[in-house]
Chains A and B, each alone.
Chain A
């Protein structure tokens, strides 16, 4: 029986459960003996000129080794904006003349012992001459974050002048809405950190929690003006990332710089306060949607105008709206659709990738648009989806935005989710509660989505990833992968793939990743790429290894390779029909290293899809929402290990629901962040979420031999709009049309009240 598709328990778990993972802060390594500890002085103001820094008191404090400012790191380059954005918007390694957000690193204090750091930080005196904060999706150019740029608009994706004036001609129903996809914090449980040491040979070794050591190495080398060969990155256990640990941040560069400058190892670990202002945030888009169609529910036209608040420096914010635009029309067949995106800079923490990165935003806008259209036309939102979803296809489908959907059966996904939810019964229950005027009203929300996964290149062109498989003389196997697990369970999953080909049990297969000396190339883990590229590479390498072994065994047995049979249960080759003429893999490995490196390259990205149904209760008196049920179809092709795939879905669903209901990074009008701890930033606990009802659905892709697509982000893409739609739905009969996320009790109450006042004034 094949091990593929079975619920193999994670081989990673025992150490996590007993001694705990070894995260960067846990590292004990003789290379790091005598390390100094780096602490960052961060700007307490949103936008200001720095008129002076006095470090004398800090330098005199116990244990302080050094204090460095921008002047000290002047040899380091500035970081250009990503995407086709204004090149004057450069990010310095430490703030030079200006600070542009609360949390921007201004100076570093280096101490002997960790407990001395916070004491010394308080003693660094920085003089700030405050400037007006630059905030919102339409910041005026009266105050410029970057004077040289001449504007706070970083750039555009698409040309607003090309939006068609007649797009909605012939539509009987047209609805417009401005929708905020709020700023959220990735908030992995492990915040950022680093440890760095330089060898006598001038080579840097850096331990950094990341999502792909090779990308982090490239970033470090570039920002430290080094050749890539001068940098080794080692990935410790990583306590969650969600898109925000890709590459290298300036803090990582500074830690490495300090280690070189002081000639001793240096370490840094971020507090949660720092993490919530210093790590990139996610989302932060404004969507102006217009949707039009016929009164009986045909959607004929859709326009999406995006504004991306990139924060103070254009990091992933420069290209996230490109992904949003790519997925504008989602799973629907919309005859006329267009979108455009503007990127602005504001005096806030820079925006980066966050679970879904650009695609959840597209999905959230579109799914609200579909519901707004259905409400305006007086139609059931399920019917509108049925009517407009693309029909099932097995040949790739090209959208108007250039996306090439590989395989999909969106209507079946919708129907399965509705059936599992008991949609008809839920609507009946809702009607009954409405008729009774219950305090607790029921809301049912749908979201049908398609998303894009499996981009990213480790080497060459086309989505690809490498794997090296080696069988050892002792009967164990080792896999080297260019992916970078941090909770996804690659050690188990990759071992399953190799075991399937080699017959070596999962427990005897070790996975290694994240050491750039061992694995120089790799695309890391993000964008839901790992299994479909990295996993496919493991399969390919394992198969090639068996073929290589077959050749060697054939030579040994003086038989034709074609006459050899590989017996997985014995991990041994024998001549067909002659079990005695056998050569075990271990014997071949003993004679000569049995090792194959393979690169799997796919023809393109894959497009998982699904439908989520959220059921909520809203207390119409207080506005308090309760998420009662989440029923989801998330079809990411063939499932390798249901245990792991379900875990990915659960996590995504939870995070997406949290964005819909509670999470938001909030700034006041002066640009001061108000959500700088987990007491204020409403990270959800188990109490706010229900158990999830997952519906199985597996439509294979033809883009890789495993038939798999990515499942890491799908949960968050579907659940966010489903929950938001459910909450609006719960109070729709009171006249509420839209509530922005997070749909807090206050917002719901205000929406109910505003709708009531509106209808009263209509009646008056």
Chain B
């Protein structure tokens, strides 16, 4: 067993884990954060995407021990005070989810994508989500949602600038 110390959704954690424990299972089984799902065996589907130090990663291919000393954000950690995060709100507004299984991963990948590229084109959105699979939506409304979220976030930034 190995001791790990990390921050998950802003909360400091310290746990003893088996070295082979995957981050996704640490989140799901030890912390009860079950939004991230396991959809494949091969780092292909992205349903387990979370943010590690603000960057999207597939938590099925990160050992919990590798996350020690770092910050993890999951879909559960996005909404503040019961208000949906702009990306979550955009997914709802644009009907960017159906069965919901890929959704937390898709949302986290989008948050990561927009942090790196706040004003993506449609092509950049599609490329930016190439690591996240969805079987329900044909991606059409997911792409709409990401573009809408980018616009909403740009609006917020502009608003702050105006205030400042």
Contact surface of A with B, Cβ cutoff 8 Å: 9-10, 12-14, 16-23, 25-26, 28, 115, 187-191, 237-240, 242, 271-273, 486-489, 643-644, 646-647, 650-655, 677-679, 683, 685-687, 689, 691-692, 715
Contact = CB atoms under 8 A, between A and B. Distances in A.
Nearest to A657: B138
A271 B45 CA distance: 13
Contacts of A237: 99-100
11 contacts: A13-B97, A20-B100, A23-B101, A115-B18, A115-B20, A237-B100, A239-B37, A240-B101, A271-B41, A488-B98, A685-B139
A190 B101 contact: yes
B130 A239 contact: no
Contacts of A19: 34-35, 75-76
Interface string B92-123: 11010111111110010000000000000010
B101 A17 contact: no
Contacts of A26: 28, 34
A17 B85 CA distance: 9
Given A19-B35, A189-B39, A691-B143, A651 B79 contact: no
A240 B35 contact: no
A651 B126 CA distance: 16
Contacts of A647: 95, 98, 136-137, 141
The size class of the interface chain B forms with chain A is 35 or more
Interface in B68-105: 75-76, 78-79, 84, 88, 91-93, 95, 97-104
Nearest to B126: A686
B42 interface: yes
Contacts, number: 183
Contact of A17 (B38, B84, B137, B142): B84
Contact of B133 (A189, A655, A677): A189
B139 A487 contact: no
Nearest to A240: B99
B53 interface: no
A189 B135 contact: yes
Contacts of A189: 37, 39, 45, 47, 99, 101-102, 133-136
Given A9-B93, A14-B84, 6 more contacts: A10-B92, A189-B39, A647-B137, A686-B134, A691-B122, A692-B140
A390 to B, nearest CB: 29
Nearest to B140: A650
Nearest to B100: A16
B88 A17 contact: yes
Interface of B: 18, 20-21, 25, 28, 32, 34-42, 44-45, 47, 75-76, 78-79, 84, 88, 91-93, 95, 97-104, 107, 122, 125-127, 129-143
Interface centre among A23, A679, A687 (most CB of B within 10 A): A687
B98 A273 contact: no
A414 to B, nearest CB: 22
Given A18-B84, A189-B102, A651 B41 contact: no
Contacts of A644: 95
A654 B131 CA distance: 17
Given A654-B138, A677-B41, A13 B101 contact: no
Nearest to A644: B95
Given A189-B39, A646-B95, A20 B103 contact: yes
Given A486-B99, A683-B133, A685-B133, A651 B138 contact: yes
B88 A18 contact: yes
Nearest to A355: B135
A471 B100 CA distance: 29
Contacts of A16: 97, 100, 103-104
Contact of B99 (A487, A679, A683, A715): A487
A344 to B, nearest CB: 29
Nearest to A15: B100
B116 to A, nearest CB: 17
Contacts of A242: 135
Contact of B132 (A187, A240, A486, A685): A685
Return the 4 tightest CB-CB contacts between A and B, nearest first. A654-B138, A239-B101, A20-B35, A487-B98
B49 to A, nearest CB: 12
Contact of A678 (B44, B88, B104, B126): B44
A742 B137 CA distance: 21
Nearest to A652: B138
A128 to B, nearest CB: 24
